[in-house]
Amino acid sequence: MTRTVADIMATELMTFSPDTIIHKAIQVLLDQRLSGAPVVDDTCELIGMLSKKDCLKVVLSSSYYQDWGGTVRDYMSPDVSTIDADTDLVSAAEFFLNSTFRRFPVLRDGRLVGQISRHDVLRALIEGG
């Protein structure tokens, strides 16, 4: 049987609401040592990603304009590359090879169900994919 992204993805994810105060979101990323996290609405639909790069924009902006306010919605990246949960591992590896991203949110029927990284795919293929 061919293994899929769903077989190896991480399912316990830190997510943000678009209404989370940006300062609190930054603190969570730092405390949890995360490079970013998905932003979901009330129905678990993926609406964006908040990365440390996005957060750097917040910090730089605040140093120039003395404004530290706003919510995750104001700074998240709304255009997110995703991968489907039923994608086979070889296709997932090819997907990573054609992208600069190190991890992707995983969707099933338009809903966020997990996350997969280059590390996850490489490990699974080495172990017998």
Q: Can you list the domains of the chain with their CATH numbers?
A: 5-126 (3.10.580.10)
The pair of three-digit structure tokens given for residue 33, joined into one six-digit string: 């040592």
Confidence at residue 59, expressed as pLDDT on a 0 to 100 scale = 82
Assessment of whether the complete model's pTM goes beyond 0.85: no
The residue-averaged pLDDT of 103-108 equals 93
Of 69, 71, 21, 13, nearest to 46 by C-alpha is 13
Of 96, 97, 98, nearest to 115 by C-alpha is 96
Contacts of 112 (CB under 8 A, 6+ apart): 13, 15, 38, 40, 44, 45, 46, 105, 106
The 10s digit of each residue's pLDDT in 4-32 is 999 999 999 999 999 999 999 999 999 99
Handedness of CA 110, 112, 117, 121 (dihedral sign): negative
The 10s digit of each residue's pLDDT in 75-92 is 999 999 999 999 999 999
pLDDT exceeds cutoff 90 at 1: no
